[in-house]
Amino acid sequence: MAGQVLVERRDGIAVIRIDNPPVNALNLVVREALHDLLSGLANESGLRGVVLAGANGRYIAGGDIKEFHIARIGPPVRDLARLLENLDVPVICAIQGAALGGGLELALACDYRIATPASIFGLPEVGLGIIAGGGGTQRLPRLIGLEPALDLILSAEAVDAPRARALGIIDEVLDGDVIAAALQAVSRVPVRRSGAMPVRAQGDPLAVIAAYRARMQRERPDEPAPGHALDSVAQGIAEGLEIAIAADRGRFSILNETPESKALRYIFFAERAAMKPPAGQGGNADAVTAVSLGSKLVEIRRDGATDANVAAALAREKKAGKLVVITGPSSPPVSDRLRAALAAGTAATLGAQLVADGAVGRPGDIDVICVSGLGYPRHLGGPMYQADLVLNRP
């Protein structure tokens, strides 16, 4: 299990870098090392401040989703956030790239946040059928206000740096060396703990939460995670941050075992597997047929195109923020056939045939097309996933 936490002292300031390529995920090794380091800093004489950053030009893209089955092992993110928040010196977060999930939760426990323009921010957990268990449901509403925090928590969507600055998630956007800027900020930034702030709302906070709950029950009645997230926020307002964060452990454990969460994690990995490019460089993206399926997904139709051209097309769509599925020769095209099969209730049967014929690379590609491009309910994972559940039912 890889990962390490690097630390150096600069004029009384501890500069901490999370080093766990490729995205500096908070796996067990990293969490244990960070816990030991922060515990020691709490008693370090002469400490003037702390800078939290990532290594290799990246911040922390969140927890390690592969470790959800061992979520109770090792120090949880909520304990790391508490250690950061309890330090009696300024703690500055220097962000490059993605600050998602546990990465954002640690940033929220800092006093000041500086980010590069290309950074993104979000709590994607509800989109995986769970909740942010490291204090994000508590500190985000206190920092930016209840309504914008609920919008981010429930949508599970990320926002870019300018939007995050406007909301108050970050304090500076800097096109330069954010670690150097963070070191300079230590001497001018006061200790300012988001966990100690009151929750601001446009009206009675619990009435606001009730309105959001009613909306979730209308729009997403089959997903339990939004309701649990709202329970967490409401408990924090009524009973206090620490009580709610402690209760989040139970909420996470319940949600982590639900069919919806398992399906959402499956499609998460399926989408990423579909994005792996074929070998080849220097290709012409315009030589490949690329068809948009809804607002998020692009089907790249190989149709005899070279690997280099397919790889170029995939790179172009990824740069535009699109999900991509590569399909092989098929008449009609794969997505058109699947659209008709979904209407007829035969998508799993057709999907198996398309995989056998080589029109798609893996069963998960069928599910990605159906879920991300053709409107199949995401919390069900896809027709191939559902068929596999039936086949393997005890």
Q: Point out the residues that are catalytic.
A: 105, 125
d(CA 213, CA 211): 5
The closest alpha carbon to 132, from 159, 152, 110, belongs to 152
Provide Rg for the chain, Cα atoms: 22
Decide: helix, strand or coil at residue 362: coil
Calculate the alpha carbon distances from 301 to 292, 331, 359 in Å. 11, 11, 9
Rounded to 10 degrees, the C-alpha dihedral 370/376/380/384 comes to -30
What letter would DSSP give residue 26?
B
Q: Note the maximum CA span of the chain.
A: 71
Do residues 23 and 9 lie in contact, with contact meaning Cβ atoms separated by under 8 Å? Answer: no
Task: Give 259's contacts (C-beta < 8 A, 6+ positions apart).
Answer: none
> Would you give the distance in Å from CA 112 to the centre of its chain?
21
Do residues 139 and 123 lie in contact, with contact meaning Cβ atoms separated by under 8 Å? Answer: no
Instruction: Indicate the burial class of 68 (C-beta count within 10 angstroms; 0-12, 13-18, 19 or more).
Output: middle
Half-sphere exposure of 170 (CA within 13 A, CB side): 28
The helices-and-strands tally (H runs, E runs) of the chain is 17, 12
Amino acid at 131: I
Decide: helix, strand or coil at residue 88: coil
Sequence-distant contacts of 342-351: CB under 8 A, at least 24 apart: 342/370, 342/374, 342/376, 342/383, 347/376, 347/383, 348/383, 348/384, 348/386, 348/387, 351/383, 351/384, 351/387
Angle of the 77-86 helix axis to the 241-256 helix axis, nearest 10:
160
Do residues 120 and 159 lie in contact, with contact meaning Cβ atoms separated by under 8 Å? Answer: yes
